[in-house]
Structure 1
Amino acid sequence: MSVVSVRLVVRTFSELCITVGALIVLFVVYVLYWTGVKADSAANSQISALHHQWARTPAAGAPQHPSPPAPAPYTGGKSFAVMYIPRLGEDWHKPVLEGTGVKDLQKGLGHYASTARLGQPGNFSVAGHRRTYGDPFKDFPELRPGDAVVLTDGTTWFTYRIDNKPFRTLPSDVGVIDPVPAESPFRSPGSYLTLTTCDPEWGSSHRLIAWGHLDSTRPVAQGKPQALAS
């Protein structure tokens, strides 16, 4: 092979490496930054839409009974509540949508449609990304027993309390969202909460699970619950 041919091969290979490197950098920027920008914008839009909807609903400001009525069936792909977890940050709050499909989890957290509705007997179960799309559950391993998970549907505040350190299992372990999960701290029917996310942080070979129980409810008209009081 001539010197000219060798130089051509080296130059072509170098240009290819530069191109591949640039594509990798762009992909990393997309995963680390742009998906987060899009997810934050989508989540904020969902929350704004909920607040607008609740402001137009007379029941949102009306006196209520101590035990809130069962919520209406949720609509697939639509947000119906906002979740607050003080352990994950003073400003941490995310919309909860019905369904755990790709598009649902790009906008916020997703409610497993087969599980109980908010505040009702059974297991209200919610999934969220650990990384990408806003990193909603990035600090999931920091959850501890006693931590508050507060949700509102515009009429009622629901305060759940975490009962375990995050439990690691396989994606095939669908029993974690059973009405009374076998590996949870619970042994009898009740009103429970399950939170799920991927593990490890940048992988999906396993799942992290946190279980909680319904601790209290409070009409929105009476103000925020103690767990959110500043």
Structure 2
Amino acid sequence: MNEKVSSSIPEAEAVIDTTPDNGQEGRIIMPEAERARISKESKKEEAWYSGEPFSSWEEVEVAVNEGLLVPVADSDHYKVSANAVEGGRYLTPVAKKMLDLVAGEWSKKMKKKGEDIDSLFLIVTSMTRIVSYQDGLSKKGFPTADSSNPRKSTHLRGGTFDLAFKWLKENRSVAYKILLEVLRDLHKKEQINLIEETTIGVLHVCVNPDKAKRRSSSRRLAGTGSAKR
């Protein structure tokens, strides 16, 4: 069994900084090959969420009030990053359920391996975004589903969350491998689309609403696209 590692949010934030100090005022320097890979791997999820993106935080609030988005707060096995935008700490009910499932399966497999998780948790770095926020990230060099149209991002529709992996990979390799195992299994079953954003240090997880068998009643969230089976 590994020695207990205290993993508070401040400590985690220090090692998963998504804005590397590269001397270019916070602009992300990402290899073109990685950027092209991310764009290619995100294509399948665009059809899952083809509705209109959120254009304001007020629209997000309306969706919350209508039950189309639900709040995401700290749980036993994951914490919301202190850097996650306050107005975007929401997901569709299906995506929230998937986040809970991922964290639960990760915890279960960790315990089965005899790994100590008393002070260990996953970090959720990003969830729902609005158009202006996404445009700002794109200008800073963050990867987008389509570099020519960052508004295709599924983060703009509440169906995606990002999990930090850099700290786990560097400090708790078994925990990192188990997380990948859980996510890759769900990806193989087409319940999620998993994209590793190596430069940023996060695992992008987009939930397939069709495979989850809980379609949203709103065209603006689930769109008219149907996941390929």
TM-score, L = length of structure 1: 0.23
Please say which structure displays the higher CA radius of gyration: 1
Higher helix share: 2
TM-score, L = length of structure 2: 0.23
Relative contact order, higher structure (CA 8 A, sep 6+): 2
